[in-house]
C-alpha cells in the first residue's frame, strides 16, 4: 500500500488530500474569496493560504485517520500557477517532508487534474479538455507525453468568465463561474458575441474586450439582462471549447472525452460536450466540483503515480515554477 | 447533334442544349422568347466555353426556383443571369442573352423526359444551321470571355478557363 | 419550398459515398453534372445554440467559397466550386483526383529513411512556404493549416507536381500580420505534432515564406510574439 499526501495552492484554493492506492481518504480545501469586482492578488492569496494551511493539514490527517508515519510520500504543486501562493505551499510541503523524513515529489498541476479525472471516472485514454481560470487546453496522450493539441492563444476561458463577472459585479462567492452558471439558467435571449476558433486553438480576448465594452451599455439601455449576457457568453465560449475538442478527437481518432479543471464542473458545458459525444458515438467523462476544482487529492494522485514509477524530487530540486507546460513532463507511469 | 443530360439534383428533368450557327432570325427568336412562345433560354454561343458552363447555370437556376429565390422573373432568364460573373441583371442579359444581330445561338431547354415536341419546335423556328454542341469551342470568343470574367494569365496557371468561369458563376452571390 | 430544395440535396447525398465525418462537416464523393465531385455538408451541431449554429455555418460556407475564389484568382490551386446550396449548407467542389495529402507524403518519405527524400522534402516545404506567402499576400487567412489540408496533385504531363490547398472552412480575409502569424503558428503546431523531428524542415518552410513575400517580415516578427504568448502565459489555476 502506498499513501501519498498532496499539497495544492497554485491559485486561490488551498487544498490538502490523502490518497491510498486510488482511494481518496481525505481532501479538505479552503477558498480565498475576494469582494465582487475584484480578482485575487498573489500576495493576498499567499497570506490567505499561510493563515489556513496548518488547519487544513490537520483536517486532512484527522479525516483520513492517519498519522504522519503512515504517509509514504509528500507531493506538492511545482507549477504552473501564481508565484507567491506556490512558494507558500511548497515551503510547508518541504518542511513536513523533512520533519517526517518522507520523500518529496513535485507535481505538474495540469497533470494532477488529468490523473485525478482518470482515477475518478475510469476513463482509459481520453481526449482531455482542461479548462480553468489559468488554462484552456485540449490534451491527448501519446508516446509518454500529454500532448497539447489545442489551447488558447491568449487568455484562459475561466479568466474570461471571471473578468466578465467583475465587469457586471457578479459575486465571487463561492466562485464567479458558479454564479454565472446559475444566472445563465435564467437567460433566454441570445446576444451574438465574437466566436474565434483557429485550427484547434481558441481565442477569448476578443470576446472579453467586446463584452467589457458592450455589457454595461446593453444593460443600461435594457437591450438585454445580465442573465442574457451570462447565457450568451456561456453558449459562445463553451461552443468554441466543444468544437476544438471535437476537432482534436477527429484528429486523434479518439472516442473518449474527459473534462477537468474548475470550469469543467459547469453542467452546461458538460451537457454540450455530451451532445457532441453522443453524435460521434463517443463517451463523456466528467467529475463534480470536489475534484474538478483545484484540490489536494489530485496532486496526491499524480504524486502517487510518479512515486510508484520511481520518481522523487530531491530537496535541492524542490523549487516551484510559474510556467510549466503539460507536455514538459515525461509520463513514466503509462504505456 | 444536341446534348441532353439529366441533373443529379433534379432527376426528373432533362437539360437539352442545341447549337446553331449562321442564324438569320435572331431578332425574331429573341422576340419569341420574350413573349414566351419559345420555352427556352437563348444564349450568345460565343460567350460560352463549354456545355458544362450551361449545366452549372441551369442547375443553379432550378435550385433557386425551387426555393423561390430567383433574382429574375423566370427560369430561362435566371439561366442567362447565372452565366454572368456579376449580379447586375441587365448587364447579364446584354452580355449573355442573344441580340438581334447574333448569328450563333445556343438554346437551352429544360423538360421532362418524354417531351420531344419542344425540340422539334425549336428546330422549325430557328433559321440557321444546327451543329454539334461539342463544336461550341470553335465558336467561343476566348478573348472576350477572359475579359468579361476578368481571368488573368496568373489564374490560368492553376486551372482551365472553364474552371475560372464556373467558379465565378457559382460564387458570385456572396462576392 | 425551401424545405423541398434542402431535401433534394440531402437525398442526393444519400446516394453519395461518405468519405469522412469531420468535426464540422461530412465529406462525400460523387458525380455531379457529370464530373467527379466532393460535397462538403455542414450539418447542424446540436450542442450549439441554434442561432449561433446557423450564423456560424452560413458564415463559414460563405468564407470558404470566397477564399477559394480569391486564391484561384491569384494562381494558387484550390478546388473549383461547382455549386453552393446555402439552405442545406453544402458546397460542391471539384474532386482533386490522382492526389495524396502532404501529410501522407511526408510520413512515407520519413519512413523510407534514405537521404534522397530529404532533398525532395526540402523542395516540397519550400514550395509550401512560397504558396502560403502568396496566399497571405492576397490577405487570405486559411484558418486551419495542416499537412492534411494540402494535396499533391500529379500533373497530367511532365509538369511539376501541383500543391492544392483545401478545406478553407475556417478561412477569412485579413490584412493584419497578427492573423497571418497565427495562421503559421497553427501550421507549425500541426506540422511538428504530426511529423516528429521536423523542426529543421519547418524552418526551411519559414525561410521560403520569408523570401517569397515583401510583407513577410512583419508576419515572422509577430510569429515570434505569438509563440512566446503560448509559452509564457502565466497559467494560474
- A155's CB contacts (< 8 A; 6+ apart) are A163, A204, A205, A208, C233
What domains are defined for chain B? 2-172 (3.30.2380.10)
Closest to C236 (Cβ–Cβ): which among A10, A249, A250?
A10
Return the CATH number at C64: 3.30.200.20
Same domain, C84 and C111: no
Query: Which pLDDT value is given to residue C156?
Result: 73
In C, which residues are within 8 Å of A134 by CB distance? 233-237
A266 is in an annotated binding site: yes
CA distances from C96 to A23, B104, C11, C163 (A): 55, 34, 24, 11
Best residue in A198, A232, A272 for a mutation probing chain C (most C CBs within 10 Å): A198
Query: Which pLDDT value is given to residue B9?
Result: 95
Mean pLDDT taken over chain A: 96
DSSP state for residue A192 in the 8-state scheme:
P
pLDDT of A74 higher than 60: yes
Alpha carbon distance B125, A72 (integer Å) = 100
For the segment B121-175, what is each residue's pLDDT rounded down to a tens digit? 999 999 999 999 999 999 999 999 999 999 999 999 889 999 999 999 999 999 8
In C, which residues are within 8 Å of A12 by CB distance? 237
Catalytic residues of C: 144
Closest to A322 (Cβ–Cβ): which among C52, C186, C234?
C234
A117 is in an annotated binding site: no
The C-alpha cell that represents A7 in the structure block: 499539497
**Residue A26 contacts residue A18 (beta carbons within 8 Å):** yes
Nearest C-alpha neighbor of C29 from the set C75, C79, C66: C79
In sequence order, what are the beta bridge partners of B17?
B3, B108
Query: Which pLDDT value is given to residue C1?
Result: 40
Question: How many CB atoms are located within 10 Å of the residue C11 CB?
Answer: 12
Instruction: Give chain C's domain count.
Output: 2
pLDDT of C3 higher than 50: no
Lowest model confidence (mean pLDDT) among A140-154, B62-76, C132-146, C175-189: A140-154
Q: State the residue for C-alpha cell 465565378.
A: B168
Question: How many CB atoms are located within 10 Å of the residue C158 CB?
Answer: 5
For the segment A165-177, what is each residue's pLDDT rounded down to a tens digit? 999 999 999 999 9
Query: Which pLDDT value is given to residue B43?
Result: 98
DSSP state for residue C20 in the 8-state scheme:
E
Q: Which DSSP string corresponds to B55-120? A: HHHHHHHHHHHHTT--SSSSHHHHHHHHHSSSS-HHHHHHHHB--TT---EEEEEEEETT--HHHH
In sequence order, what are the beta bridge partners of A147?
A140
The C-alpha cell that represents B98 in the structure block: 442573344
CA-nearest residue to C43 within chain A is A279
**Residue C128 contacts residue C150 (beta carbons within 8 Å):** yes
In chain B the first and final C-alpha atoms are separated, in Å, by: 37
Average pLDDT rounded to a whole number, residues A244-263: 93
| Phi, psi (degrees; rounded to nearest 5) at A205 | -65, -35
- A217's CB contacts (< 8 A; 6+ apart) are A223
Alpha carbon distance A149, A182 (integer Å) = 31
Q: Give CA angle at A27 (A25, A33), nearest 5°.
A: 170
Query: Which pLDDT value is given to residue C8?
Result: 82
Q: Does B168 touch chain C (CB under 8 A)?
A: yes
A134 is in an annotated binding site: yes
Report CB contact under 8 Å: A243, C22.
Answer: no
Alpha carbon distance B21, B98 (integer Å) = 13
Alpha carbon distance A257, A266 (integer Å) = 15
Alpha carbon distance B58, C233 (integer Å) = 55
Same domain, C50 and C158: no
* Residue C168 belongs to a domain: yes
Q: State the residue for C-alpha cell 445580465.
A: A226
B neighbour chains, 3+ CB pairs within 8 Å:
C
Q: What percent of chain C is modeled with pLDDT above 70? A: 91
Å from B102 to nearest chain C CA?
Answer: 28
Same domain, C121 and C40: no
pLDDT of C5 higher than 60: no
CA-nearest residue to C82 within chain B is B170
For the segment A1-15, what is each residue's pLDDT rounded down to a tens digit? 999 999 999 999 999
Query: Which pLDDT value is given to residue C237?
Result: 43
In A, which residues are within 8 Å of C58 by CB distance? none
Nearest C-alpha neighbor of A76 from the set A242, A316, A303, A292: A303
Q: Which DSSP string corresponds to A237-298? A: HHHHHHHHHHHHHHHHT--EEEEESGGGG-HHHHHHHHHHHHHHT-EEEE--HHHHS--HHH
Question: How many CB atoms are located within 10 Å of the residue C117 CB?
Answer: 17
Alpha carbon distance B75, A260 (integer Å) = 56
- Choose the final residue of a domain: C33, C61, C94: C94
The C-alpha cell that represents A44 in the structure block: 493576498
* Residue C4 belongs to a domain: no
Average pLDDT rounded to a whole number, residues A137-152: 91
Alpha carbon distance A259, C14 (integer Å) = 35
Report CB contact under 8 Å: C185, A153.
Answer: yes
Question: How many CB atoms are located within 10 Å of the residue A317 CB?
Answer: 10
ipTM over the 0.90 cut-off: yes
For the segment B91-129, what is each residue's pLDDT rounded down to a tens digit? 999 999 999 999 999 999 999 887 778 888 999 999 999
CA-nearest residue to B159 within chain C is C77
Alpha carbon distance B60, B70 (integer Å) = 9
Question: Strands, E, within C33-186: which ranges?
Answer: 35-41, 81-85, 90-94, 99-101, 140-141, 150-153, 162-165, 172-173
Same domain, C143 and C223: yes
Alpha carbon distance C136, C208 (integer Å) = 13
Q: Do chains B and A touch (3 or more CB pairs under 8 A)?
A: no
Alpha carbon distance B72, B84 (integer Å) = 13
- Choose the final residue of a domain: C59, C94, C129: C94
CA-nearest residue to A192 within chain C is C52
pLDDT band at C24 (very low <50, low <70, confident <90, very high): confident
Same domain, C71 and C113: no
Q: Does C65 touch chain B (CB under 8 A)?
A: yes
Alpha carbon distance C152, C125 (integer Å) = 12
* Residue C136 belongs to a domain: yes
Alpha carbon distance C222, C114 (integer Å) = 36
Nearest C-alpha neighbor of C92 from the set C50, C27, C22, C37: C37
Q: What is the pTM of this model?
A: 0.90
For the segment A290-300, what is each residue's pLDDT rounded down to a tens digit? 999 999 999 99
pLDDT of C2 higher than 50: no
* Residue C1 belongs to a domain: no
Highest mean pLDDT among B41-55, C4-18, C117-131, C189-203: B41-55
The C-alpha cell that represents C34 in the structure block: 457529370
pLDDT of A54 higher than 80: yes
Same domain, C43 and C136: no
Same domain, C68 and C111: no
* Residue C27 belongs to a domain: yes
- Choose the final residue of a domain: C94, C124, C150: C94
Range of the domain at C197: 99-231
* Residue C53 belongs to a domain: yes
Alpha carbon distance A49, A12 (integer Å) = 8
Same domain, C165 and C181: yes
pLDDT of A69 higher than 70: yes
pLDDT of A253 higher than 90: no
Nearest C-alpha neighbor of C87 from the set C119, C50, C42, C37: C42
Same domain, C121 and C74: no
What domains are defined for chain A? 3-114+294-328 (3.30.420.40), 123-290 (3.30.420.40)
**Residue A71 contacts residue A45 (beta carbons within 8 Å):** no
Question: How many CB atoms are located within 10 Å of the residue C193 CB?
Answer: 17
Å from B163 to nearest chain C CA?
Answer: 6
**Residue C167 contacts residue C147 (beta carbons within 8 Å):** no
* Residue C145 belongs to a domain: yes
pLDDT of A333 higher than 70: yes
A177 is in an annotated binding site: yes
The C-alpha cell that represents B138 in the structure block: 470553335
Same domain, C123 and C169: yes
Average pLDDT rounded to a whole number, residues C44-73: 96
Query: Which pLDDT value is given to residue C230?
Result: 63
Lowest model confidence (mean pLDDT) among A87-96, C8-17, C112-121, C131-140: C112-121
- C22's CB contacts (< 8 A; 6+ apart) are A250
In A, which residues are within 8 Å of C46 by CB distance? 275, 279
Return the CATH number at C125: 1.10.510.10
pLDDT of C118 higher than 90: no
Q: Which DSSP string corresponds to A9-47? A: -SSSEEEEEEEETTEEEE--EEE--PPTT----HHHHHH
Best residue in C72, C95, C130 for a mutation probing chain B (most B CBs within 10 Å): C72
Give Rg (Cα) of chain B: 15
| Phi, psi (degrees; rounded to nearest 5) at C216 | -70, -25
In C, which residues are within 8 Å of B167 by CB distance? 68-69, 72, 80-81
A235 is in an annotated binding site: no
In B, which residues are within 8 Å of C1 by CB distance? 66-68
Same domain, C69 and C133: no
* Residue C6 belongs to a domain: no
Average pLDDT rounded to a whole number, residues A294-314: 97
pLDDT band at C233 (very low <50, low <70, confident <90, very high): low
Query: Which pLDDT value is given to residue C7?
Result: 64
Same domain, C152 and C220: yes
pLDDT band at C17 (very low <50, low <70, confident <90, very high): very high
Amino acid at each position: 500500500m502506498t499513501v501519498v499526501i498532496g499539497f495544492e495552492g497554485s491559485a486561490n484554493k488551498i487544498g490538502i488530500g490523502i490518497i491510498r492506492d486510488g482511494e481518496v481518504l481525505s481532501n479538505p480545501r479552503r477558498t480565498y474569496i475576494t469582494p465582487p469586482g475584484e480578482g485575487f492578488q498573489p500576495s493576498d492569496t499567499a497570506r490567505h493560504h499561510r493563515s489556513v494551511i496548518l488547519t487544513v493539514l490537520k483536517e486532512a490527517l484527522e479525516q483520513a485517520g492517519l498519522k504522519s508515519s503512515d504517509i509514504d510520500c509528500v507531493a506538492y504543486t511545482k507549477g504552473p500557477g501564481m508565484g507567491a501562493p506556490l512558494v507558500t505551499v511548497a515551503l510547508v510541503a518541504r518542511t513536513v517532508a523533512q520533519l517526517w523524513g518522507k520523500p518529496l515529489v513535485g507535481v505538474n498541476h495540469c497533470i494532477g487534474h488529468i490523473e485525478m479525472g482518470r482515477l475518478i471516472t475510469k476513463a482509459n485514454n481520453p481526449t482531455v479538455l482542461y479548462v480553468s481560470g489559468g488554462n484552456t487546453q485540449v490534451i491527448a496522450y501519446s508516446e509518454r507525453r500529454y500532448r497539447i493539441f489545442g489551447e488558447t492563444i491568449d487568455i484562459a476561458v475561466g479568466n474570461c468568465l471571471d473578468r466578465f463577472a467583475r465587469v457586471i459585479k457578479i459575486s465571487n462567492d463561492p466562485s464567479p463561474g458558479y454564479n454565472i452558471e446559475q444566472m445563465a439558467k435564467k437567460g433566454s435571449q441570445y446576444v451574438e458575441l465574437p466566436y474565434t476558433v483557429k485550427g484547434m486553438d481558441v481565442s477569448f480576448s476578443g470576446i472579453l474586450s467586446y463584452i467589457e465594452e458592450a455589457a454595461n451599455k446593453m444593460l443600461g439601455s435594457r437591450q438585454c439582462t445580465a442573465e442574457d449576457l451570462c447565457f450568451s457568453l456561456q453558449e459562445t465560449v463553451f461552443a468554441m471549447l466543444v468544437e476544438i475538442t471535437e476537432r482534436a478527437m477527429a484528429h486523434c481518432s479518439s472516442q473518449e472525452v474527459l473534462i477537468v479543471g474548475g470550469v469543467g464542473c459547469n453542467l452546461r458545458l458538460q451537457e454540450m460536450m455530451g451532445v457532441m459525444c453522443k453524435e460521434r458515438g463517443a463517451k463523456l467523462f466528467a467529475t463534480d466540483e470536489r475534484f474538478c476544482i483545484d484540490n489536494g487529492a489530485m496532486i496526491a494522485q499524480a504524486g502517487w503515480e510518479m512515486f510508484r514509477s520511481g520518481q522523487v524530487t530531491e530537496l535541492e530540486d524542490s523549487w516551484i515554477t510559474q510556467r510549466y507546460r503539460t507536455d514538459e513532463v515525461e509520463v513514466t507511469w503509462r504505456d | 447533334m444536341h446534348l441532353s443530360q439529366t441533373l443529379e439534383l433534379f432527376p426528373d428533368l432533362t437539360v437539352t442544349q442545341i447549337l446553331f450557327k449562321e442564324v438569320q432570325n435572331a431578332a425574331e427568336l429573341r422576340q419569341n422568347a420574350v413573349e414566351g412562345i419559345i420555352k427556352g433560354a437563348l444564349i450568345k454561343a460565343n460567350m460560352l466555353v463549354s456545355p458544362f458552363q450551361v449545366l452549372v447555370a441551369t442547375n443553379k437556376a432550378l435550385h433557386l426556383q425551387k426555393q423561390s429565390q430567383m433574382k429574375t422573373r423566370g427560369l430561362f432568364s435566371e439561366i442567362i443571369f447565372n452565366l454572368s460573373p456579376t449580379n447586375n441583371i441587365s448587364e447579364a442579359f446584354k452580355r449573355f442573352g442573344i441580340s438581334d444581330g447574333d448569328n450563333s445561338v445556343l438554346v437551352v431547354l429544360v423538360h421532362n423526359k418524354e417531351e420531344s415536341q419542344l425540340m422539334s419546335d425549336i428546330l422549325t423556328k430557328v433559321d440557321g444551321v444546327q451543329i454539334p454542341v461539342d463544336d461550341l469551342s470553335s465558336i467561343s470568343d476566348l478573348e472576350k470571355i477572359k475579359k468579361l470574367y476578368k481571368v488573368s494569365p496568373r489564374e490560368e496557371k492553376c486551372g482551365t478557363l472553364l474552371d475560372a468561369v464556373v467558379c465565378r458563376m457559382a460564387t458570385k452571390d456572396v462576392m | 419550398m425551401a424545405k423541398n430544395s434542402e431535401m433534394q440535396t440531402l437525398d442526393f447525398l444519400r446516394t453519395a459515398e461518405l468519405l469522412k465525418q469531420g468535426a464540422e462537416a461530412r465529406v462525400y464523393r460523387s458525380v455531379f453534372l457529370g464530373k467527379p465531385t466532393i460535397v462538403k455538408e455542414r450539418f447542424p451541431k446540436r450542442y450549439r445554440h441554434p442561432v449561433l449554429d446557423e450564423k456560424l455555418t452560413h458564415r463559414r460556407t460563405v468564407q470558404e467559397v470566397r477564399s477559394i475564389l480569391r486564391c484561384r484568382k491569384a494562381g494558387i490551386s484550390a478546388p473549383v466550386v461547382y455549386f453552393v446550396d446555402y439552405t442545406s449548407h453544402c458546397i460542391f467542389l471539384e474532386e482533386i483526383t490522382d492526389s495524396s495529402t502532404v501529410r501522407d507524403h511526408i510520413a512515407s518519405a520519413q519512413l523510407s529513411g534514405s537521404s534522397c527524400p530529404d532533398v525532395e522534402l526540402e523542395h516540397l516545404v519550400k514550395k509550401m512556404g512560397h504558396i502560403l506567402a502568396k496566399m497571405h499576400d492576397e490577405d487570405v487567412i486559411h484558418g486551419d493549416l495542416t499537412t492534411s489540408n494540402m494535396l499533391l496533385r500529379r500533373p497530367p504531363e511532365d509538369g511539376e507536381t501541383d500543391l492544392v490547398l483545401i478545406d478553407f472552412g475556417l478561412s477569412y480575409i485579413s490584412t493584419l500580420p497578427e492573423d497571418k502569424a497565427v495562421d503559421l503558428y497553427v501550421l507549425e503546431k500541426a506540422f511538428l505534432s504530426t511529423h516528429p523531428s521536423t523542426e529543421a524542415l519547418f524552418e526551411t518552410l519559414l525561410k521560403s515564406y520569408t523570401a517569397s513575400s515583401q510583407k513577410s517580415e512583419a508576419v515572422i516578427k509577430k510569429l515570434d510574439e505569438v509563440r512566446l504568448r503560448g509559452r509564457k502565459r502565466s497559467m494560474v489555476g
